[in-house]
Chain A
Amino acid sequence: MRSNFVFQEIWVGLRRNLTMTIALIVVVAISLSLLGTGLLFVKQVDSTRTYWQSKVEISVYLCYADSANPNCHGAVTTAQTTSLEQRLKGMPQVQNVTYVSQAQAWALYKQAFVNDQSYVSILKETDMPASLEVKLVNPGADYNIVASSVTGAQGVDSVIDEMNILDKFYRLLDGLRNAVVIVALILVVAAVLLVANTIRLSAFNRRRETGIMRLVGASNFYIQLPFLLEGVIAGLLGWVLSAALLIGVKSLLLNNLQQYFNYNVGLSGGDLVEVIVLAMVIGVALCGVTSFLTLRRYLRV
């Protein structure tokens, strides 16, 4: 194998249809970076979900003196509280149960609205419900079982799953991710077609050379290699661009998103490297396989 001959052929091929090559590189770069952004989103959503799932709880609010709920007949009694607590603790899905008294709830409330005294002044301690904060072993799956076991029980005002509140946030992130991935997939299709077309043009431009190569008995591998590498090199250049774009997405978009939501579950550099490496594998495989299949049609023995 004479490598400088092969590289000379690749260079000639890439230069001859320069416009197509540039278009190819750009489309590969954009589709890979969108795909990578989608993957980063998946990772971000996953890590956010894990972070919050370790924190969220089911709050079982207990009846207090002025509860509007018809299920409540005055404030909850100590016996009712104890029996509820026992029942929840007995369930295998429950990790632990903490009792928050009215006084504690009032203290938390005052602390939350310390900057907004008008909220504090319209309420008093007896307006705050006492609650049982239930931590689940598996918060995603077991909510319904645990919630239904206490809903409507004596002394229970309402049951609130904090997961429901977070779900809205997740739906936003999931939707964003899906949109990005769909656009990326459409662009991947465009990239595949563009690779096929570029290689076909390249093969057509050099039909004299390949015709003579066939005639003098060059092996198929030798004839096809320059074209194949042409596709792969264009893919690699596109990937380099997309890697730069992905680093930008990570440091500008995702990191800012975190500051905005005020929690600290940033993606590590390792996650970014993983996505970039994956983008390279996809990009090279995409271009290589497409080139190969196109060549099988246009450079027959």
Chain B
Amino acid sequence: MIQFDNVTKVYPNQSRPALENVNLSVEKGEFVFLVGSSGAGKSTFLRLVLKEERPTDGRIHVAGKDLARLTNWKVPYLRRRIGCVFQDFRLLPNKNVYQNVAFALEVIGKHRRFIKKVVPEVIDLVGLEGKHERMPDELSGGEQQRVAMARAFVNRPMILLADEPTGNIDPATSIGIMKVLDRINRTGTTVVMATHDAAIVDSMRKRVIELEYGKVVRDQNRGVYGQAY
């Protein structure tokens, strides 16, 4: 589903590469934690998958497409197959829960009838039934992240990228968020989650990829957050 072959990314005006010779592959339906300290290259990895950045060297395949050969005007169609969740939620403050989720479908030109059918389903899936009319500032952080996840998942992407989704949320609420991510993963969606949250990684026992200074230093099935020698 995601394949990196010898990928190196050097940002302009920087000598140290953000990613260096990264080789890895994530299969369909996998749940992967991406761990590592700040600046290790987690965000760069996610940006490369979205083709927000181009690799300096190496090849990237996402959903069977060679990103180097994907023309600019086809990039939006790639992004429709990838959902994104962030630490800061990125909801539209002037739209309610329903409108925020529906926005993702409106802007890719889906029909109103289709939107009316699928948006409530997804809001139920993330556990926000009955809160369609709430505005973002009337919701707790955990609930806002659920809205963001609903928006990321409403178009049934093949891949869900989560960049520290529990970064702004207390541990108890984080468990609920992880349950939603797990539920999404069980529908066959590949989930890649960058995180600092050791407790979550340890409790989920999923594949863990650790980055350090732009290199993959550990790739472990059913791994934990800390080094396990």
Contact = CB atoms under 8 A, between A and B. Distances in A.
Contact of B76 (A208, A211, A212, A220): A220
Contact of B90 (A1, A211, A223): A211
B92 A209 contact: yes
Chain B at the A interface: SS class: helix
A216 B151 contact: yes
Of listed A208, A213, A214, A217, residue having the most chain B CB within 10 A:
A217
B73 A217 contact: no
B32 interface: no
Interface residues of B, number: 24
Given A2-B109, A5-B106, A212 B90 contact: yes
A2 to B, nearest CB: 6
B59 to A, nearest CB: 20
B78 interface: yes
Interface in B82-98: 82, 84, 90, 92
Contact of B109 (A1, A215, A301): A1
Nearest to B79: A217
A222 interface: yes
Contacts, number: 58
A235 B82 CA distance: 38
Nearest to B82: A217
A14 to B, nearest CB: 16
A220 B107 CA distance: 11
Interface in A194-223: 208-209, 211-220, 222-223
Contacts of A214: 76, 79
Nearest 9 A/B pairs, CB to CB? A217-B80, A217-B79, A218-B107, A216-B104, A217-B76, A213-B107, A219-B76, A215-B84, A5-B106
21 contacts: A1-B109, A5-B106, A209-B92, A212-B90, A212-B92, A212-B104, A213-B107, A214-B79, A215-B84, A216-B79, A216-B80, A216-B151, A216-B152, A217-B76, A217-B80, A217-B82, A219-B73, A220-B73, A222-B109, A301-B72, A301-B76
